[in-house]
Protein backbone atom coordinates (compact mmCIF):
# COMPACT_ATOMS: atom_id res chain seq x y z
CA UNK A 1 0.00 0.00 0.00
CA UNK A 2 1.22 3.51 -0.80
CA UNK A 3 2.36 5.31 2.37
CA UNK A 4 -0.26 7.62 3.87
CA UNK A 5 0.36 11.05 5.35
CA UNK A 6 -0.26 11.18 9.12
CA UNK A 7 -3.20 13.63 9.45
CA UNK A 8 -2.09 15.60 12.54
CA UNK A 9 1.46 16.92 12.20
CA UNK A 10 3.36 16.63 15.48
CA UNK A 11 0.63 14.69 17.31
CA UNK A 12 1.14 10.92 17.14
CA UNK A 13 -0.31 9.65 20.44
CA UNK A 14 -3.21 7.26 19.91
CA UNK A 15 -5.45 7.51 22.97
CA UNK A 16 -7.83 4.75 21.88
CA UNK A 17 -6.77 2.10 19.34
CA UNK A 18 -8.91 -0.02 17.02
CA UNK A 19 -10.80 -2.89 18.64
CA UNK A 20 -12.63 -3.70 21.87
CA UNK A 21 -12.67 -1.10 24.64
CA UNK A 22 -14.62 -0.24 27.79
CA UNK A 23 -16.64 3.02 27.81
CA UNK A 24 -18.75 3.93 30.85
CA UNK A 25 -18.41 0.34 32.10
CA UNK A 26 -19.64 -1.21 28.84
CA UNK A 27 -17.65 -3.19 26.29
CA UNK A 28 -17.75 -1.57 22.85
CA UNK A 29 -16.06 -2.11 19.51
CA UNK A 30 -14.05 0.91 18.41
CA UNK A 31 -13.90 0.89 14.60
CA UNK A 32 -11.08 3.43 14.32
CA UNK A 33 -8.30 5.15 16.23
CA UNK A 34 -8.38 8.32 18.31
CA UNK A 35 -5.41 10.64 17.84
CA UNK A 36 -4.93 12.91 20.86
CA UNK A 37 -4.43 16.50 19.74
CA UNK A 38 -5.54 19.98 20.83
CA UNK A 39 -8.82 21.40 19.59
CA UNK A 40 -8.26 23.23 16.29
CA UNK A 41 -5.26 21.17 15.15
CA UNK A 42 -5.10 21.27 11.32
CA UNK A 43 -6.03 17.92 9.75
CA UNK A 44 -4.40 17.14 6.41
CA UNK A 45 -5.49 14.76 3.68
CA UNK A 46 -3.66 11.42 4.09
CA UNK A 47 -3.87 10.80 0.34
CA UNK A 48 -5.02 12.40 -2.91
CA UNK A 49 -8.64 11.60 -3.69
CA UNK A 50 -12.14 12.98 -3.33
CA UNK A 51 -14.33 14.27 -0.51
CA UNK A 52 -17.28 11.87 -0.37
CA UNK A 53 -19.35 13.34 2.41
CA UNK A 54 -19.45 16.03 5.11
CA UNK A 55 -22.16 15.60 7.75
CA UNK A 56 -23.22 15.86 11.37
CA UNK A 57 -23.00 12.27 12.59
CA UNK A 58 -25.68 12.18 15.28
CA UNK A 59 -26.33 8.45 14.84
CA UNK A 60 -22.89 7.28 16.01
CA UNK A 61 -21.87 10.37 18.01
CA UNK A 62 -19.13 11.49 15.63
CA UNK A 63 -20.31 15.08 15.41
CA UNK A 64 -18.97 17.01 12.43
CA UNK A 65 -17.50 14.32 10.15
CA UNK A 66 -15.88 13.99 6.74
CA UNK A 67 -15.17 11.00 4.51
CA UNK A 68 -12.52 10.68 1.80
CA UNK A 69 -11.91 8.10 -0.92
CA UNK A 70 -8.80 7.34 -2.94
CA UNK A 71 -8.96 6.10 -6.56
CA UNK A 72 -8.20 2.50 -5.49
CA UNK A 73 -11.20 2.53 -3.13
CA UNK A 74 -9.39 3.14 0.16
CA UNK A 75 -11.75 5.08 2.44
CA UNK A 76 -10.91 7.27 5.45
CA UNK A 77 -13.47 8.77 7.78
CA UNK A 78 -12.68 11.64 10.15
CA UNK A 79 -14.89 12.61 13.11
CA UNK A 80 -15.19 15.07 16.02
CA UNK A 81 -14.11 17.96 13.80
CA UNK A 82 -14.34 21.56 14.98
CA UNK A 83 -14.49 22.90 11.43
CA UNK A 84 -13.82 22.39 7.74
CA UNK A 85 -10.74 24.11 6.29
CA UNK A 86 -10.84 26.25 3.15
CA UNK A 87 -8.85 25.40 0.04
CA UNK A 88 -6.13 27.92 -0.78
CA UNK A 89 -7.42 31.20 -2.20
CA UNK A 90 -11.07 30.31 -1.47
CA UNK A 91 -13.44 31.89 1.02
CA UNK A 92 -15.61 28.83 1.59
CA UNK A 93 -14.65 25.41 2.95
CA UNK A 94 -14.17 22.17 1.07
CA UNK A 95 -17.29 20.64 -0.44
CA UNK A 96 -18.51 17.15 -1.29
CA UNK A 97 -17.12 15.95 -4.61
CA UNK A 98 -14.04 18.15 -4.58
CA UNK A 99 -10.68 16.60 -5.38
CA UNK A 100 -8.04 16.86 -2.68
CA UNK A 101 -4.29 16.46 -2.80
CA UNK A 102 -2.23 14.59 -0.25
CA UNK A 103 -1.26 17.13 2.41
CA UNK A 104 -4.09 19.62 1.80
CA UNK A 105 -5.46 21.09 5.04
CA UNK A 106 -9.04 19.80 4.99
CA UNK A 107 -10.39 20.22 8.53
CA UNK A 108 -9.63 21.05 12.16
CA UNK A 109 -9.73 18.60 15.04
CA UNK A 110 -12.29 19.05 17.76
CA UNK A 111 -13.82 16.85 20.39
CA UNK A 112 -14.23 19.28 23.27
CA UNK A 113 -17.32 17.93 25.10
CA UNK A 114 -20.36 20.08 24.42
CA UNK A 115 -18.74 22.11 21.64
CA UNK A 116 -20.32 22.22 18.16
CA UNK A 117 -19.12 19.26 16.08
CA UNK A 118 -17.86 17.28 19.09
CA UNK A 119 -20.58 14.63 19.05
CA UNK A 120 -20.23 12.23 21.99
CA UNK A 121 -16.50 12.93 22.44
CA UNK A 122 -15.08 13.01 25.96
CA UNK A 123 -12.01 15.11 25.11
CA UNK A 124 -10.10 16.75 22.24
CA UNK A 125 -8.95 14.32 19.56
CA UNK A 126 -9.36 13.25 15.94
CA UNK A 127 -11.21 9.99 15.29
CA UNK A 128 -10.00 8.19 12.13
CA UNK A 129 -11.54 5.12 10.52
CA UNK A 130 -10.36 3.18 7.48
CA UNK A 131 -12.05 0.79 5.08
CA UNK A 132 -10.63 -1.08 2.14
CA UNK A 133 -11.97 -1.21 -1.42
CA UNK A 134 -14.45 -3.96 -0.42
CA UNK A 135 -15.70 -1.84 2.52
CA UNK A 136 -13.84 -4.13 4.92
CA UNK A 137 -12.73 -2.45 8.16
CA UNK A 138 -9.02 -1.80 8.45
CA UNK A 139 -6.96 -1.13 11.56
CA UNK A 140 -5.19 2.18 10.81
CA UNK A 141 -2.24 0.90 12.85
CA UNK A 142 -2.16 -2.50 11.12
CA UNK A 143 1.07 -3.94 9.79
CA UNK A 144 0.09 -3.28 6.17
CA UNK A 145 -0.49 0.43 6.76
CA UNK A 146 2.50 2.80 6.61
CA UNK A 147 2.25 6.41 7.76
CA UNK A 148 4.74 9.18 6.94
CA UNK A 149 5.06 12.76 8.19
CA UNK A 150 5.15 15.76 5.87
CA UNK A 151 8.94 15.40 5.58
CA UNK A 152 8.66 11.80 4.37
CA UNK A 153 9.80 10.19 7.63
CA UNK A 154 8.00 7.09 8.89
CA UNK A 155 5.57 7.85 11.74
CA UNK A 156 5.32 5.27 14.51
CA UNK A 157 2.26 6.23 16.57
CA UNK A 158 2.51 5.85 20.33
CA UNK A 159 -0.50 3.90 21.66
CA UNK A 160 -1.28 5.10 25.17
CA UNK A 161 -4.87 4.97 26.39
CA UNK A 162 -6.45 7.96 28.10
CATH number at 103 reads: 2.70.70.10
Residue 151 lies in a domain: no
Please tell me the predicted confidence (pLDDT) of residue 10: 94
Residue 19 lies in a domain: yes
Residue 149 lies in a domain: no
What averages of pLDDT result for each successive group of 10 residues across the chain (162 residues)? 91 89 84 92 97 89 92 94 84 88 95 76 89 84 89 90 66
Residue 16 lies in a domain: yes
- Structurally, the chain folds into a number of domains equal to 1
Residue 76 lies in a domain: yes
Domain that holds residue 64: 4-144
pTM of the shown model: 0.88
Residue 161 lies in a domain: no
Q: What is the 3-state secondary structure (H, E, C) of the chain?
A: CCCEECCCCCCCEEEECCEEEEECCEEEEECEEEEECCCCCEEECCCCEEEEEEEEECCCCCEEEEEEECCCCCEEEEECEEEECCCCCCCCCCCCCCEECCCCEEEEEECCCCCCCCCCCCCCEEEEEEECCCCCEECCCCCCCCEECCCCCECCCEECCC
Residue 162 lies in a domain: no
Residue 159 lies in a domain: no
Please tell me the predicted confidence (pLDDT) of residue 128: 94
Amino acid sequence: MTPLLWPTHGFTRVSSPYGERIIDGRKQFHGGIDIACPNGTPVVAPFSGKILRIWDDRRWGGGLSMSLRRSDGLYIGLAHLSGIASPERRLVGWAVGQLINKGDAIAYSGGIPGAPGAGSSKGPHLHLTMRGPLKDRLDALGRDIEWHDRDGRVVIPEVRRG
